[in-house]
Chain A
Amino acid sequence: EDKVVQSPLSLVVHEGDTVTLNCSYEVTNFRSLLWYKQEKKAPTFLFMLTSSGIEKKSGRLSSILDKKELFSILNITATQTGDSAIYLCAVGAGGTSYGKLTFGQGTILTVHP
């Protein structure tokens, strides 16, 4: 069975700190890894990483994928209170896994002023 594990489960930092969120996976027929940010509403898409795109960056957020070691990290630099949210890692697979993303438990990030 496909499995995605995130760590830490929760993290408390102060504004300006840099954080690293981890995601490891065991998936048959891996195709992509996605990061989402969830506040008190729907998860919003951040990045998708695949074999042809193992590093992504957008502003203060960046992510890398290590397909050999089966993990990904999400970095947030110069954190702000608006970064407080649940960060979700999900994996998409090929074969007959149509439309299915397998999610990790999420990391709850709290940024204090």
Chain B
Amino acid sequence: KAGVTQTPRYLIKTRGQQVTLSCSPISGHRSVSWYQQTPGQGLQFLFEYFSETQRNKGNFPGRFSGRQFSNSRSEMNVSTLELGDSALYLCASSLEPGALTDTQYFGPGTRLTVL
């Protein structure tokens, strides 16, 4: 079974631009969670989607948004980029957290650099 895939793997943007990252979960997984990883803050939860609905959101500004499609693929968008948004953005999928397991399987991440 194919793992979680994320595109693109690397991205360089300038301040003020916006960016869209994509995530395809493991086949059969319906929940997608997004995390931001930085050296200073570690892994921080952004939001989670299930059945095209955002069920949970972390403590990030409204510039960070996302959505999920009917095939469970998910995208996240960051508008008006700031230097501090430079990070590794990780997507994780699971069957349905809380039902049977909390185990999340991570994709390779998108490395975003904001200049």
Chain A residues engaging chain B, CB cutoff 8 angstroms: 31-32, 34, 36, 41-45, 48, 88, 90, 92, 94, 96-106
Contact = CB atoms under 8 A, between A and B. Distances in A.
Given A31-B98, A92-B97, A104-B42, A99 B106 contact: no
Interface in B64-115: 90, 92, 94, 97-98, 101-109
A92 B92 CA distance: 14
A103 B31 CA distance: 18
Contacts of B106: 36, 42-44
12 contacts: A31-B98, A36-B106, A42-B90, A43-B106, A48-B103, A96-B56, A98-B48, A98-B50, A99-B56, A99-B97, A101-B33, A103-B43
B94 A99 contact: yes
Interface string B13-35: 00000000000000000011101
Candidate in B31, B35, B50 with the most chain A CB atoms within 10 angstroms: B35
Nearest to A95: B98
A93 B107 CA distance: 22
Contacts of A106: 42
Nearest to A47: B103
Contact of B55 (A31, A42, A99, A104): A99
A106 B44 CA distance: 12
Interface string B49-64: 1100001101000000
Interface residues of B, number: 29
Nearest to A93: B102
Given A92-B97, A94-B98, A101 B45 contact: yes
Contacts of A48: 101-103
B108 A41 contact: yes
Contacts of B42: 103-106
Nearest to A99: B48
Nearest to A44: B106
Contacts of B43: 43, 88, 90, 101, 103
A101 to B, nearest CB: 6
A99 B103 CA distance: 9
